[in-house]
A and B are shown apart, each in its own frame.
Chain A
Amino acid sequence: MPKVRPTAWFLVAAGVCWLVLLLSTLSQGQPIPGLPANWPRWVLLLAQGGFAAAVFMYARFQPEPLAGQNFVGLLRRLFLRGLGLTLGLGALVGVEKLTSQHTLSLPGNTTTAVVYTIALALFMVFLAQTLYTWRSLVNFRGGAKLRNEWTVFEVLLGLTLLLQLFTWHIPDGVRLGSGIALGLFGIYLSGHQRWIAYLTLAEKWQAILLQLGVLGFTVFFLLYLRGAQTDPVLLVPATQSSFLAFNSFFATFYAMAGLLITLFNLPVAKVFEERRAEIMSLQQLSQIIQRGQSVPEIYKILFSSAIQTGKADAAALLPPPASESASGLLAPLQHQLTATDFAALSSVLVPPPGSSYLPEIVESDLSRSPRFGTLLPNYSSIVVMPLHNKVHNYGTLVLLSHEPYNFDSEVLSILHAFTAQTVLSFENLQLAQEALNNQRTQDELRIAALVQERLIPRQLPTDDWFEVATYAQAAKEVGGDFYDFLHLPGQKLAVLIGDVSGKGVTAAFHTAQMKGIFHALMQANPLAKKERDRYPDPHRFMVQANEALTHCLERSSFITAAFYLIDYQAGGFSFARAGHCHTLYYHSIQEEVSYFRTEGLGLGIIRNAGYEKHVKTQFWDYNPGDVMVIYTDGIVEARDGEGNEYGEERLRQMLEQCFYQTAAEINEEIRHDVQEFSRGQPLHDDQTLLVIKFKAAQPHA
């Protein structure tokens, strides 16, 4: 079963009501076999009211007939419908006239009654169409308040349908007063004719004619009804006269008001149209930018709009000097300009000394101009308008006219608006481009961060003789801290930690370099005669790393690093510190926490063989339960809200409290304490923390 639209039920109701109306009208006249005579008056009024309500509701819930600002289309639609209905009425009257020549025109004539009933229905349909066409026009550019007022108006009109139904006595004064009030309400609503301002001159003429047509139809219907109701041939029943009267009044008054306003608007329509064209050009300019159009296109639009608005006979758009890289205009734009005139213009229009652009020039009588003299004999007035902001020069607009005093102050103000909008458009384009570049940089930083993350060892070394736990946090997208582990044959572990001075991408780049140096230097040397020479000792590692960095680190950059070579077989480790933070150590035998305070110069500070003397290898024998805490200065230099640093001492105390825990737990405790300390402060340096705990070896399973 196809779905019936709810509004279709209004049509069904209208049909039923109309049938009842027809039958009850017929019952008033000559007896018709099978039809009870003289139906009560209220049935007729109810049927009329029901029909009217159904037709109006149907029209009310139709989709909005006004498409955009096509007011003439809306009026034409109403006109055509009105024309159809009026022609229908005309045909009916014709038929009635014809039949009445053959039959006796007795009171209660059936044909007259049928025609009258149909005519009444047609009129109501016409009024409904008119009312809801006016609704679209009244509410055009109106607010919610106006829409509410309109709804109240509809309700009041609806109430007049009920008025006739009841026989209760209403004092004449009240009746008259409320009638006048409703009429005034209609007049007030008729004042809302904003749509007229949006018509072009041609459209205004069309609107006037179409509204005249609508008025004509209304008058035609009213004349017929008035005639019919006084026709002795028709035994006329009561009508919903107030409803019809108010509707007709409003329909007519709104059309009249619109007509008059349009009429009075005609003389100024041309001015309006010019202003509209200017606004449209400005809108076009701004829309071009929003669509992300190119610089040449903006120039073209400015040029054509300026010529049109200024009614220029010839024009040129001169490009800015070649030094202006922001411009996209390479060759001048010309309009109706001879080569001679263009050459003359170019010779005169040069910026004054000390300025990069021309001043604005307006000459209204060129024959008497000292500047142009006889250079431009064909023209009488000229405007020269530079396009520039504080930073950039975007070119110069030149308009010429044969007429003296062609460029009046209004034209100039519009041209100013054009040029300002154009400059704004160029600025916007540049901003958009910059935003795009920024976005690209952000994206690249994100990629750099991802790449750097991959440089951090994924898998921590594991063995049964030690535990390792790590924590690293970069202050920016990419950081300057690094660390790495490498398992060497024979239960040895190489550990490197470091910090590149500076921040950001440069620092991040050097961390990658250090990782490369680490892995390159820790390759087994096949020529080594002794086992312990197979891998560089910490001192040699630092010297070689320093040499490798000599040529690729900027002079003001340096790298701090600490390198540990842990040997399980020997139960000890050797290490070297190159300017890096001191290692914190828990000695399980002495039950004591202290720093290894060794000497050692950062990498990249001395870039010659002299560095060798500034770094040393130290040795240490460890015991099971010993804990080594290795970190970067982001940890000890973390600040609280008052600017105090976390410091070596607090770190030492932390290890005193938690040395007995696992490496992961110690790492977590310290990290938590640092975060508590600097809560609410931005991370101003990268933080890295490694905890290594030595264990008594488990027998291999």
Chain B
Amino acid sequence: MKVTTHPTADTLTLVLDGELDASSAVVLDAELNKPEIVNYKKVLIDCQRLSYISSAGLGVFISHLQRLQDSDVKLVFFNMQEKVFNVFEILGLDSLMNIVPTQAEAQAA
């Protein structure tokens, strides 16, 4: 699992590459835990190369969801593979989180 960050003025894009399991969830958690994250307006998660997400991986997003909302930072997922989207959907997260098909839509969100 590789996490790369692309910060711009008001948007932080995280590109996830590989399987997000219990061990890689720690890396992502550290990234989302950085205090400067609340300075952005949007945090975009590029899921194009995310091939698997475990409950620990979902837990990272869930635990930061409230904090980001409280600080008025939008969390948007895009380019999600169907298999991964299924996992979000079964857990009911699709109704809670902003998941859009393309990067352009994510930028516009």
Contact = CB atoms under 8 A, between A and B. Distances in A.
Contacts of A502: 22, 55-56, 59
A556 B59 contact: yes
A101 B83 CA distance: 124
Contacts of B95: 599, 601, 614
B92 A599 contact: yes
A579 B59 contact: no
Specify which of B59, B90, B96 lies most central, judged by the most chain A CB atoms within 10 Å of its CB: B90
Given A582-B90, A601-B91, A606 B96 contact: yes
Contacts of A579: 90-93
Contact of A501 (B59, B66, B90, B93): B59
Contact of A556 (B63, B83, B96): B63
A501 B22 CA distance: 10
A635 interface: no
Contacts of A614: 92, 95-96
Interface string B72-101: 000000000001000000111101100000
Contacts of B62: 555-556, 558, 605
A246 to B, nearest CB: 79
A600 interface: yes
Nearest to B56: A502
A555 B63 contact: yes
A606 B93 CA distance: 10
A544 interface: no
Interface string B13-53: 00000000010000001000000000000000000000000
A515 to B, nearest CB: 20
B67 to A, nearest CB: 9
A606 B83 CA distance: 24
Nearest to A582: B90
Contacts of A601: 91-93, 95-96
B58 interface: yes
B94 to A, nearest CB: 9
A664 to B, nearest CB: 27
B59 A558 contact: yes
B93 to A, nearest CB: 7
Interface residues of B, number: 18
The secondary-structure label for the interface of chain B is: helix
A479 interface: no
Contacts of A584: none
A558 B58 contact: yes
Contacts of A557: 59
B60 interface: yes
Interface in A579-630: 579-582, 599-602, 605-607, 614
Contacts of B92: 578-579, 599-602, 605, 614
A578 B59 CA distance: 15
A297 to B, nearest CB: 43
A499 B59 CA distance: 13
A687 interface: no
A698 to B, nearest CB: 37
A563 to B, nearest CB: 14
Nearest to B83: A645
A560 interface: yes
Contacts of A578: 92
A501 B91 CA distance: 11
Contacts of B58: 501, 558
Given A556-B62, A556-B63, A558-B62, A602 B56 contact: no
A560 B89 CA distance: 12
Contacts of A555: 62-63
Contacts of B59: 501-502, 556-558
Contacts of B66: 607
Contacts of A607: 66
A581 B22 CA distance: 20
Which of A499, A503, A579, A580 gathers most chain B CB within 10 Å?
A579
Interface string A499-510: 101110000000
Nearest to B67: A555
Contact of A605 (B60, B83, B90, B96): B96
A25 B67 CA distance: 118
A645 B52 CA distance: 11
A503 B60 CA distance: 15
Contacts of B83: 645
Interface string A366-394: 00000000000000000000000000000
A605 to B, nearest CB: 5
Contacts of B93: 579, 601-602, 605
Central interface residue in B29, B91, B93, B96, by most chain A CB within 10 Å: B91
B31 to A, nearest CB: 14
Contacts of B29: 556
B91 A556 contact: no
Interface string A646-689: 00000000000000000000000000000000000000000000
A495 to B, nearest CB: 19
A501 B96 contact: no
A102 B15 CA distance: 126
A594 to B, nearest CB: 16
Of A502, A556, A607, the most chain B CB neighbours within 10 A belong to A556
A700 B70 CA distance: 60
A85 to B, nearest CB: 83
A584 B29 CA distance: 35
A501 B63 contact: no
Nearest to A645: B83
Contacts of B60: 556
A503 B96 CA distance: 25
A501 B60 CA distance: 11
A560 to B, nearest CB: 6
Contacts of A503: 22
Interface of A: 499, 501-503, 555-558, 560, 578-582, 599-602, 605-607, 614, 645
Given A501-B55, A558-B62, A601-B93, 11 more contacts: A501-B58, A501-B59, A558-B55, A560-B91, A579-B90, A582-B90, A599-B92, A599-B95, A601-B91, A601-B95, A602-B92
Across the A-B interface, the 8 shortest Cβ-Cβ residue pairs = A601-B92, A501-B55, A556-B59, A556-B63, A579-B91, A555-B63, A579-B92, A602-B91
Interface of B: 22, 29, 55-56, 58-60, 62-63, 65-66, 83, 90-93, 95-96
5 contacts: A502-B59, A555-B62, A556-B60, A556-B62, A579-B92
